[in-house]
Amino acid sequence: MSESCLFCKIIEGKIPSVKVYEDEKTFAFKDINPQAPVHIVIVPKKHIASLAEADCGDEEILGAVQVAASKISKMFDETKQSFRLVNNCGADAGQTVFHIHYHLLGGRQFGWPPG
């Protein structure tokens, strides 16, 4: 838990969110500024600033986030067949909130390479 972290506050319920999933290690909520018909933010409950800060011992937590993504994808018709899972690591990659999170996006066609 980081006192100044937006996503820690969301996990703690101090800032409201539309929760879609929670388990022992992960928490997921609707993105406030959706980039696709389904846009869910999935975070580990442990505060880790970015994927670059992940270390030995975080394997279970990061694995849990991916399994949560798989479960959440089955909750929405738009993501049952196909979805994109994105992690922005560092400011140049587009990271704006420094608590590891994965974007689960679905319900539209995606291009490659990403912008």
Our finding on whether 8 is near Zn ion (CB under 5 A) is yes
- Contact partners, residue 84, CB within 8 Å, separation at least 6: 103, 104, 105, 106, 110
Our finding on whether 95 is near ligand AMP (CB under 6 A) is yes
Our finding on whether 5 is near Zn ion (CB under 5 A) is yes
Our finding on whether 81 is near ligand AMP (CB under 6 A) is no
**Do residues 30 and 101 lie in contact, with contact meaning Cβ atoms separated by under 8 Å?**
no
Our finding on whether 97 is near Zn ion (CB under 5 A) is no
Active-site residue flag, 39: no
Provide the 3-class DSSP secondary structure of residue 21. strand
Distance CA 79, CA 107 (A): 6
Tell me which amino acid residue 5 is: C
Per partner kind, with CB cut-offs from 5 to 8 A, the member of Zn ion, ligand AMP, none near residue 81 is none
By rule CB under 6 A, what string of x and - marks binding of each residue 46-75 to ligand AMP?
Answer: ------------------------------
**Do residues 55 and 44 lie in contact, with contact meaning Cβ atoms separated by under 8 Å?**
no
Residues of the shown chain interacting with ligand AMP in the complex, contacts defined by CB under 6 A: 6, 15, 17, 29, 31-33, 41, 88, 94-97
Catalytic residues: 101
